[in-house]
């Protein structure tokens, strides 16, 4: 008898509860929608604005010709035409600087990351880990100054792509170090043991089992670090300076897309090029991000 009564009470309570829950769910849902709109709107507005203002300027010559002179731009604007020329010096300069930065940062970053993974507990590793975290917080302009002092003043004796690459490589390092360590930690210990149990020397286990197994993680970390530095402007102002011509000499001043955007901003005749260059840069970064997401999804 007592039990029966209890049961009735419970079902009654449950009904009450469910009504309360549905209303709570609704409030929650509305909240989620509002918050997501707030989060999404900036990105939608940014991309919308870039496409709206910039797409007209993007044509074949945009990717094949160097930046126009102020005079050419002024004439075009006065005649209500599309500004001639393009940003190929910036695009190739960015590729050169970022490529060189990757060549410097990727091997060092992966090696340090592997070291941290191998020496989880050691105090020295802890020190390096904290230093790497601190490095991540150093303002990029400061890294630009450092690269200026090291490379521009003392090594190349002039503004150069190399100097910019050093600054950007320092920015990439903490990201690659972290992602390498985290990726390695995700690889099951049993895989390592399986290889060691076959009598494989430790360094070969790292090179032939751990790195291939963690390849997608490493690639993602690298892509994200590249997309992180693609838009860096401040350090490049102090190191690569800019160049109206296409330049492949790593010891000479070199242009880059974000530098061009800054230049365009300072030249009232080139305003519409700001938008097309920004659209290009944004598209580049977005593509890298999407590729790296894809890689992650594939694991």
Partner 1 sequence: MNKNIDILENPALKLENLYIAYGKTDKYAVRDVSATIKKNAITAIMGPSGCGKSTLLRAINRMHQLYPDVKTQGNIYLNEKDITKMSAIHLRRKIGMVFQRPNPFPTMSIYDNVVAGYKLNGIRMKKNERDAIVEQSLISVGLWNEVKDSLRKKGTFLSGGQQQRLCIARAIAFKPDVILLDEPTSALDPIATSKVEDLLVQLKKDYTIVLVTHNMSQAARISDYSMFMYLGDLVEYGKTKMMFTNPRDKKTEEYLTGKFG
For binding to partner 1 (CB under 8 A), which residues are involved?
A: 188, 190-191, 193-201, 204-205, 208-209, 212-213, 215
Q: How far is the CB of 130 from partner 1 (least distance, A)?
A: 23
Quote the least distance from Cβ 190 to partner 1, whole Å.
5
The first and second tokens of residue 203, run together, are: 């360094």
Kindly state the smallest distance separating residue 202's Cβ from partner 1, in Å: 9
Residue 142 or 206: which CB sits closer to partner 1?
Answer: 206
The 3-class SS string of 264-286 reads HHCCHHHHHHHHHHHHHHHHHHH
- How many whole angstroms separate alpha carbon 288 and alpha carbon 61? 24
Give the DSSP per-residue string, 2-17: HHHHHHHHHHHHHHHH
Nearer to partner 1 among residue 195 and residue 281 (C-beta): 195
Nearer Cβ to partner 1 (135/187): 187
For residues 19 and 198, which CB has a smaller minimum distance to partner 1 in the complex?
198
Q: Residue 80 or residue 121: which is nearer to partner 1 going by CB?
A: 121
Please state, in angstroms and rounded to a whole number, the distance separating the CA atoms of residues 227 and 100: 14
User: In the structure, how many helices (H) and strands (E) does the chain have?
Assistant: 15, 0
CB of 206 to partner 1, least distance (A): 11
Q: Which residues pair with 241 in a beta bridge?
A: 254
Instruction: Report phi then psi at 249, rounded to 5.
Output: -90, 120
What's the CA gap between 159 and 240, in Å, rounded?
Answer: 5
Which DSSP letter does residue 206 get? I
- Minimum Å gap between C-beta 252 and partner 1 is 42
């Amino acid at each position: 008898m007592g039990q029966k009564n209890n049961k009735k009470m419970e079902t009654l309570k449950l009904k009450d509860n469910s009504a309360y829950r549905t209303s709570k769910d609704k409030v929650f849902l509305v909240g989620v929608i509002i918050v997501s709109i707030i989060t999404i709107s900036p990105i939608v507005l940014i991309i919308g604005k870039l496409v709206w203002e910039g797409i007209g300027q993007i044509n074949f010559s945009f990717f094949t010709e160097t930046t126009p002179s102020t005079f050419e731009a002024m004439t075009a604007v006065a005649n209500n035409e599309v500004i001639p020329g393009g940003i190929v010096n910036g695009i190739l300069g960015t590729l050169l600087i970022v490529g060189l930065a990757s060549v410097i940062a990727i091997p060092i970053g992966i090696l340090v990351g592997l070291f941290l993974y191998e020496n989880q507990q050691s105090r020295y590793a802890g020190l390096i880990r904290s230093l790497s975290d601190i490095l991540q917080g150093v303002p990029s302009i400061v890294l630009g100054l450092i690269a200026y002092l090291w490379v521009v003043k003392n090594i190349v004796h002039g503004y150069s792509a190399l100097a910019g690459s050093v600054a950007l490589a320092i920015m990439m390092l903490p990201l690659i170090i972290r992602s390498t360590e985290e990726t390695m930690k995700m690889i099951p210990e049993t895989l390592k043991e399986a290889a060691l149990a076959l009598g494989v020397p430790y360094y070969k286990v790292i090179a032939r089992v751990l790195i291939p197994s963690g390849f997608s993680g490493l690639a993602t970390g690298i892509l994200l670090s590249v997309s992180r530095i693609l838009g860096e402007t401040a350090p490049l102002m102090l190191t690569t300076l800019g160049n109206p011509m296409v330049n492949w000499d790593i010891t000479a001043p070199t242009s880059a897309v974000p530098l061009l955007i800054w230049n365009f901003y300072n030249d009232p005749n080139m305003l519409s090029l700001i938008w097309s260059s920004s659209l290009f840069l944004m598209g580049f970064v977005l593509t890298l991000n999407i590729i790296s997401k894809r890689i992650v999804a594939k694991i």
